[in-house]
Amino acid sequence: MGNQYPQEDSGFAERRRQRKQELRQDFFKDKSPALKMGWRFLVSSGLLAVGIWIVALPMWYLTSASQIEIQGTRLLLPKQLKDKIQIDFPQYIFRMRPQAIASQLEKKAPVYNVVVKRSIFPLKVTVIVQERQPVATTILNGEMGFIDSKGVWISAKSYPPNLKKPQLVVLGTSPSILQGWKKLFSQISQSPVKISKLDFRSPNNLILTTDLGLVYCGVYTYAKMEKQIQMLDRLRSLPQSAANLNFTHIDLINPNFPVVDGVAPKLKPKP
């Protein structure tokens, strides 16, 4: 007996729902199509107006740079990047152009592959950057700066003053050197003999400062540098074997026949 009441309540609710549906159908049954469309238009317009009112509330506006979050920095200061983003506050978050912000930073700061994301809970803008890592110190057009591994020159003013400078130094930097830098840097990075300086000031003779001393390379080419680095590896015992020569430089212009101050050193056989 006690289990009958829930069934009766459920049946009553179902009958009431059906009755409401019948009344709704009766209301529109004798109405013209124009009235039906008008009614639907009013309902849709009301919902649209409510939606517009909601998105126009002040809660959707950025009011300060504190709502901008910078991610991915190790060398640069987040505030330094925020200062380069031009936003007029208050700024309606849905009118912001993420790609425009990314382009601003890539032009004004040593970063690339910038991604800008908007979020509303909480309301903020997240900027994810990849920093350009300096691999060499150099001077270009009279201004001190750095070169990254891709051959992009960056002014030293773009980094904090306490930045740890790269050990590699490049002299005589020019646009053509930067253009071929990616391949050259890859080569010298793999050299078994440490290379600390590249001197391009003579157009016909690249001079390397290495742990073995000065090395004359002649006009740089990728294929020749490969052989020159291999020969440097074979010459690593040179300071001991040529201690009495007191040599000033190693001539590797022809990498197959190294010359040390006019003397061809004895080399160990290739392994």
Question: Strands 111-120 and 91-92, how do they pair?
Answer: unpaired
Q: Which long-range contacts (CB under 8 A, 24 or more apart) does 146-154 make?
A: 147/173, 147/178, 147/181, 147/185, 148/110, 149/182, 149/185, 150/181, 150/182, 151/178, 151/179, 151/180, 151/181, 151/182, 151/185, 152/110, 152/178, 153/178, 154/110
3-class SS shares of the chain: helix, strand, coil, % to 5 = 40, 25, 35
**Residue 134 half-sphere exposure, CB side, CA atoms within 13 Å?**
26
Terminal alpha carbon distance of the chain: 99
Distance (Å, rounded) from C-alpha 98 to C-alpha 150? 25
Q: Which domains does the chain have, with CATH numbers?
A: 60-131 (3.10.20.310), 134-260 (3.40.50.11690)
Nearest to 208 by CA among 198, 200, 218: 198
Nearest to 214 by CA among 187, 178, 248: 248
Sequence-ordered list of residues with C-beta below 8 angstroms from that of 137, at least 6 positions apart, any chain = 144, 145, 146, 165, 166, 168, 169, 170
Distance (Å, rounded) from C-alpha 101 to C-alpha 111? 12
Please report, in tens digits, the pLDDT of each residue of the chain (271 residues total). Answer: 444 444 545 666 777 777 767 666 666 565 556 555 665 666 666 555 545 545 455 578 899 999 999 999 999 999 999 999 998 889 888 888 999 999 999 999 999 999 999 998 889 999 999 999 999 999 999 999 999 999 999 999 999 999 999 999 999 999 999 999 999 999 999 999 999 999 999 999 999 999 988 999 999 999 999 999 999 998 887 765 554 556 788 999 999 999 987 666 666 666 5
Task: Indicate the pTM of the whole model.
Answer: 0.75
Both tokens of 192, joined, read 């078994």
Length of the chain: 271
